[in-house]
């Protein structure tokens, strides 16, 4: 498995997401779960492999992003802190670099940045979880620690573009 595929597998593993349908129109992903996000303008391609609403692969290296929503089961009732920690369970030698509450599109959210190891590789993960009833929305960015800062602006722009639709 290449390092690029290993990181995408890690993104899917960390998030543990379920498959959903959606569509991309004019650079905007519209989820069947009632939200939309704007895709990064360049440098990222849609990856159809991982089981998330939307998964993106860095064209220049082994980084990845995903967006997913869970609208049923126990997740919508759990605290955002617990859900954010769940997104990084697959890491060993974990070091929490940042953590705390925030808001996205007027919705309560929790963001964390964690450095650790996955499959013997040093990676850094930024995870953001927000609650927009009836769903919990997960945003995840994973990259080798040495390349992590390069993809953060694209990730932050995608998170900030989040909007609810049809509610």
Task: Report the C-alpha dihedral over residues 130, 128, 37, 14, rounded to 10 degrees.
Answer: -110
If DSSP states are collapsed to H, E and C, what string results for 40-97? CCCCEEECCCCCCCEEEEECCCCCEEEEEEECCCCHHHCCHHHHHHHCCCCCEEEEEE
- φ/ψ of 154, rounded to 5, equals -65, -40
Q: Which two tokens stand for residue 33?
A: 């779960």
Per-residue pLDDT, 83 = 77
pTM of the model as a whole: 0.84
Per-residue pLDDT, 125 = 95
Domain count, the chain: 1
Range in 8-12, 64-68, 113-117, 133-137 with the lowest mean pLDDT? 8-12
Rounded Cα distance, 100 and 77, in Å: 19
Per-residue confidence band for 90, with pLDDT thresholds at 50, 70 and 90: confident
The chain-wide mean pLDDT, for the chain, equals: 84
Per-residue pLDDT, 4 = 37
Q: Name which residue leads in pLDDT, 79 or 154.
A: 154
Per-residue pLDDT, 14 = 44
Per-residue pLDDT, 50 = 63
Q: Which two tokens stand for residue 148?
A: 């992590």
**Total Cβ atoms within 10 A of residue 57:** 22
Per-residue confidence band for 75, with pLDDT thresholds at 50, 70 and 90: low
Q: Could you list the residue range(s) of the whole structural domain that residue 125 is in?
A: 3-164
**Predicted confidence (pLDDT) at residue 7 exceeds the cutoff of 60:** no
Q: Name the percent of the chain lying above pLDDT 70.
A: 83
Q: Name which residue leads in pLDDT, 12 or 113.
A: 113
CATH value at residue 67: 3.40.1000.10
Alpha-carbon distances, residue 3 vs 29, 30, 47, 61, 145 (angstroms)? 26, 29, 15, 9, 13
Mean pLDDT of the 97-114 span: 94
Per-residue pLDDT, 60 = 86
Mean pLDDT of the 43-60 span: 87
């Amino acid at each position: 498995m290449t390092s690029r595929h290993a990181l995408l597998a890690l993104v899917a593993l960390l998030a543990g997401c379920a498959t959903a349908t959606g569509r991309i129109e004019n650079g905007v992903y519209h989820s069947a779960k009632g939200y939309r996000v704007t895709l990064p303008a360049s440098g990222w391609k849609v990856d159809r492999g991982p089981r998330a609403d939307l998964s993106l692969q860095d064209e220049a290296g082994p980084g990845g992003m995903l967006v997913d929503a869970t609208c049923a089961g126990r997740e919508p009732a759990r605290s955002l802190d617990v859900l954010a920690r769940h997104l990084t369970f697959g890491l060993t030698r974990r070091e929490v670099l940042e953590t705390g509450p925030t808001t996205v599109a007027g919705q309560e959210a929790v963001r964390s940045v964690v450095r650790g190891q996955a499959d013997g590789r040093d990676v850094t993960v930024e995870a953001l979880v927000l609650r927009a009833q009836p769903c919990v929305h997960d945003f995840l960015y994973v990259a080798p620690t040495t390349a992590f800062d390069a993809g953060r602006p694209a990730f932050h722009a995608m998170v900030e573009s989040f909007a609810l639709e049809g509610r």
